[in-house]
A and B are shown apart, each in its own frame.
Chain A
Amino acid sequence: MINRIFALRFLLIISMFFLSGKTFASSSDSEEFRPGDVILHHVLDDHIWHFWDGPYGTLYLPVIVYSADRGLVVFSSSNFYNEDHDVVPYNGYVLDHGHIGLEGSEAMVWDFSITKNVAFLFLNAALLVFVFLSVAKGYRKNEGGPPRGIQSFFEPIILFIRDEVVKPNIGPRYERYLPYLLTLFFFIWFGNLLGLMPGAANMTGNIAVTLVLAVATFILTTISGNKNYWGHIFNTPGVPIVLKPIIVPVEIIGMFTKPISLMIRLFVAITAGHIVILSLISLSFVFHSYVVGVGSSLIVIFINLIEILVATIQAYVFTMFSSLYIGMAVEEHH
């Protein structure tokens, strides 16, 4: 499966090289190729899902907006583009650098559109549900027997998460948190790996996604916190009374820095990976050289290998730290 990802990625590089080379080359006469914009555009969310230039190369996703004046409105994002692929206003709504607003008004517009990342999120969730319901079916069908097929691929990973990540960090009451942590691990892992596929969205590298995951861990940690945990924050044992006014705020800040570190770590690791790959691919267009393209493509393949590693490590790290924080909240004694 991993080989196939490489093959696809390689094909993408080669095809980008030949197809887009021409496009960029022709456009560079009138305007300069700006890799920064291209990369940022790829890394950011969008209301359309662009696969390739030309017919049927773009998937126009639904726009769902809510404003106090006009209520909930749903329409296709294709309305924002004319034949020349220029952004145009539609029905009073304007699309400005990915933000939807009302024409000639500063009123707040809530954007609940099925953007590229949301669509990708649904795909990821659907795949996750499909895969693990199949695995669960394997256990039902094959009760008590050794694992088979897809079951035997995921069982060691599930056991690793349970025995090496969750159990040692949370302790005897780990079972309550296991469903959440397993879902967390596989959600991030699948998202990271799918994100490496050509044409994929940078879902786990989006701060909104990592924010929700970090908030989920924060909420779970906070509601699980026992007397010992709160005691540690508001009445840190072993600290002289004089130092308490300093230590207590630090401890309270610590409650929040933990999930914030989770959020930023995953977002940065995945986005940085995408930026590195895209930068290397951009090199050939910056230098207008196929030789540079071949060289950078080789490096991109290498970086992709590292990115697969990073995808797994980041999923592991997020799950491990979440377990650790929950473990600290439910810990009984030192």
Chain B
Amino acid sequence: MELLTPGTGLIFWQAITFLAVVFILGRFAWGPIMSSLKAREDSIEDALRAADLAKEEMKILQADNEKLLQEARKERDEILKEAQTAANRIRSEAKEDAESSASRILDDARREIIQQKEKALAEMKGMVADLSIDIAEKVLRRELEDKGSQEKLVNDLLKDTKLN
């Protein structure tokens, strides 16, 4: 039965000692331990949150980059297209110019040729006439060196020319 009857002395000492231990540990052990544990947990949580934030920012940045790239690509395409049309325009203009100037040159040449030809023809005509007259003169002079041939010619001519 003694087992079940608590001794007053032990109750007294246990109460004092246990309260003292609770007080000492509460003041000098659990307080600092709990605050350091909390501080550590907070710092870990903060670090994790910061990492998440950084990840999010990274994602936004990446999206921005993608957008910028897209825009740049579009711009490049536009510029290329513009350049293409400009080049085409310049090319066709140049072609037209070349064609028109070529035809003009051709016309000029043709006209020149005709002119030259006419001139040459005219000159030739004069020269042929002169030559013919010269030749005729020389032939006549040789033919008509003597009297007999002169008379014969006149007669021939007269024969041909019927006076009627």
Q: Are B13 and A114 in contact (CB under 8 A)?
A: yes
Q: Are B9 and A132 in contact (CB under 8 A)?
A: no
Judge whether B39 is part of the interface by a CB distance below 8 angstroms. Answer: yes
- Identity of the chain A residue whose Cβ is nearest the Cβ of B21 in the assembled complex: A125
Q: Are B14 and A121 in contact (CB under 8 A)?
A: yes
29 inter-chain pairs at a CB distance below 8 angstroms, sorted by A residue, are: A45-B7, A110-B9, A111-B7, A122-B17, A125-B18, A129-B24, A129-B25, A132-B30, A132-B33, A135-B33, A136-B32, A139-B32, A139-B36, A140-B32, A140-B36, A144-B36, A178-B34, A180-B22, A182-B30, A183-B26, A187-B21, A206-B10, A208-B6, A208-B11, A209-B10, A211-B6, A216-B18, A216-B19, A271-B3
How many positions in chain B have a CB within 8 Å of any CB in the partner chain?
35
CB distance from B23 to the nearest CB of A (A): 9
Q: What residues of chain A have their CB less than 8 Å away from a CB belonging to chain B?
A: 40, 43-45, 64, 97-98, 110-115, 117-118, 121-122, 125, 128-129, 132-133, 135-136, 139-140, 143-144, 155, 158-159, 162, 175, 178-180, 182-183, 187, 206-209, 211-213, 216, 271
Q: Are B2 and A128 in contact (CB under 8 A)?
A: no
Would A115 and B21 be within 8 Å (CB), given that A98-B2, A136-B33, A207-B3 are in contact? Answer: no
Q: Write out the residue numbers on chain B whose beta carbons fall within 8 Å of the beta carbon of A45.
A: 7, 10
Q: Write out the residue numbers on chain B whose beta carbons fall within 8 Å of the beta carbon of A128.
A: 21, 25
Would A112 and B12 be within 8 Å (CB), given that A97-B2, A179-B22 are in contact? Answer: yes
Question: How far is A265 from B24 in the complex, measured between Cα atoms in Å?
Answer: 27
Q: Are A183 and B22 in contact (CB under 8 A)?
A: yes
Question: How far is A125 from B116 in the complex, measured between Cα atoms in Å?
Answer: 138
Q: Are A212 and B28 in contact (CB under 8 A)?
A: no
Closest CB pairs A-B (n = 5): A208-B6, A179-B26, A208-B10, A132-B29, A139-B36
